[in-house]
Structure 1
Amino acid sequence: MKYLYRKEHLKAGFNSENYQFRIGELTSMTGVSARQLRYWESKGIIESIHRSGEQEGRVYKFKTFIKVMMIKYYLDTGYTLKSAVKNVEEKQKYLTLTRHIIFSALNGIVEVDGTVMLDLGNFDDDGQQRLLAYFDDDQQKVRYQLIDSDQMGDEDE
């Protein structure tokens, strides 16, 4: 078994602060007009990144992209803007918690007998077993495997 990526190598990819979008990009990705985005911003529903200098165009964080997508979903299913925003703000608490749990649990990506798996850390309190997860393409579902911690090598690619 060898580590393909360790947690510290995955941080940049999972850091949503690295993903920013101009208003035109956000419009094309979400189907929400620039005019509507500006209105939502004027009402405090979303916010753009404040930039200094000559760069005056609006830029949004990944978190805002997710919020816009969720608001649009609720609007498209018949909610008012006020109730859509309320639902999204409630759901975002759960998404934040989920993200924190997943990132805290993920210790790296390993290869075991040719299968790429996620190392989800210690399974037991005394650190004797590790929990690995992988996607079974044939069954189209996530599977889990326990291995002894001493089998977790330090070998990196």
Structure 2
Amino acid sequence: MQEWITNKELSYLPTMLKAELYQIIKEHKEAPIYEADQLLISHSHKVVRLPPYHCDLNVIEFMWSLLKRRVASNNVGQEVGNIVKLTEEAFSSITPQDWQKQCEHVKHLEDKFYERDGCMDNITDKFIIELGNDSSTDSDTSDDAYASDSDMSGIVSFDHNYCEEK
């Protein structure tokens, strides 16, 4: 890690931990260039990356699910030699309408996520935590002062119906 940073003519402290060195590397490492992206861009297509860990926003995952369901529903005898044939039949049975339906489903999910995120932004903007009270001082170390500092009475409970009302 130190060698990479040095080769890029960046600076670091010898006492830095790996996590700190990694942060420097992340900040200065160029994004990879993928051949497939370049091919798509050369044909006037825009490449949009899915957010990590959100397979529910990837249409192909729904199509794989559809394919597996079609194979499973026809795999009555569960013969291993039949799987290739059933899979090929399932692939050929997928229609443009199937793709359209799954794309619309993902758009619906995106809209729901967007709505929830906006709602959460509104809620978190109004979420204020007030701990302790003004009567305790920093020099007071009694058990009573500690108890008042850790008092959670200033926290307002989350209203789960807030989003549904908006």
TM-score after normalising by structure 1: 0.29
Q: Which has the higher strand share?
A: 1
| Larger proportion of helix | 2
TM-score using structure 2 length: 0.28
